[in-house]
Chain A
Amino acid sequence: MASNGSTGRPLSPHLQVYRFSLLMALSILHRATGIALYLGTLIVVWWLVAVASGPAALAFWQMVFLNPLGLLVLFGYTWALFHHMMGGIRHLVWDTGARLDVASAKSTAMFSTIAAFALTILVWIVAFMVR
């Protein structure tokens, strides 16, 4: 068993020993989207500070984000938010002790993945409609 040098305490097995599955992907993605959202708050602060600063600052923010590449980043941010939110709700349900069996975990995994995409698409349809 792998051990942790100085203390000799055991280490748990890491990613490479597991077979790939949707459940595992979602577990990793919850952490990955959490980290992405952490960095994504910079887009949010930048937006708020730009509006507070005036038309020129907002125009610069819009120049950066309102183009195909910038919009891709924003799509990514909103998808990460919805995906992490759905995954977070799953975690909160698990915290109550419910839905912990494999079959439930699989069905909520499918549901939350699809819901995250659906919510993202819905929000951007609205954004383009009111434009």
Chain B
Amino acid sequence: MSQSLKTPLGKVRGLGSAKSGTDHFWMQRLTAIANVPLAVAFVILLALTIGKPHAVQAATLANPIAAILVLLFVVAGVWHMRLGMQVVIEDYVPNEGRRIAFIVINTFFAAVVAVASIYAVFKISFGA
């Protein structure tokens, strides 16, 4: 067994035989599929409202269908981008401490983007 390609750390953790990787892969694909119609809807919304005055944009985003589509795009998009960026980090950051730090930052970034967007859409929809 001295010729194993596994690192000592890899052996101790015992990951790699479909412990958590399958879920990552699957959610990446699931959110990718969801993103296709949602991204198209979002871009159309953006194109239709971009130069319009505030009252028009707020009224458009307050429309339940528009608001729900934007919320779905935010959730599926942020989830997908967090998983995708984690793979990029794992590919390019060999130092383990730094890699974990980047993965933490990645998750925080995703959380801030998601919460800020959802808060904004709620505020536009419910007023105050």
- Distance from B55 Cβ to chain A, minimum over Cβ atoms (Å): 8
A66 within 8 A of B: yes
Contacts of B29 in A (CB 8 A): 92, 95
A98 within 8 A of B: no
Number of A-B contacts (CB under 8 A): 96
Contacts of B120 in A (CB 8 A): 45, 48-49, 51-52
B1 within 8 A of A: no
Contact A48:B121 (CB < 8 A) given known A37-B81, A66-B51: yes
Given contacts A49-B117, A123-B47, A127-B51, 16 further A-B contacts (CB under 8 A): A9-B7, A35-B85, A35-B88, A38-B85, A42-B113, A48-B116, A52-B121, A52-B124, A54-B54, A55-B53, A55-B54, A62-B50, A89-B36, A92-B29, A95-B29, A130-B48
- Residues of A whose CB lies within 8 Å of any CB of B are 4, 7, 9, 31, 34-35, 37-38, 41-42, 44-45, 47-49, 51-52, 54-55, 58-59, 62, 65-66, 74, 78, 81-82, 85, 88-89, 91-92, 95, 123-124, 126-127, 130-131
- Residues of B whose CB lies within 8 Å of any CB of A are 5, 7, 29, 32-33, 35-36, 39-40, 42-44, 46-48, 50-51, 53-55, 57-58, 61, 70, 77-78, 81, 84-85, 88, 94, 113, 116-117, 119-121, 123-124
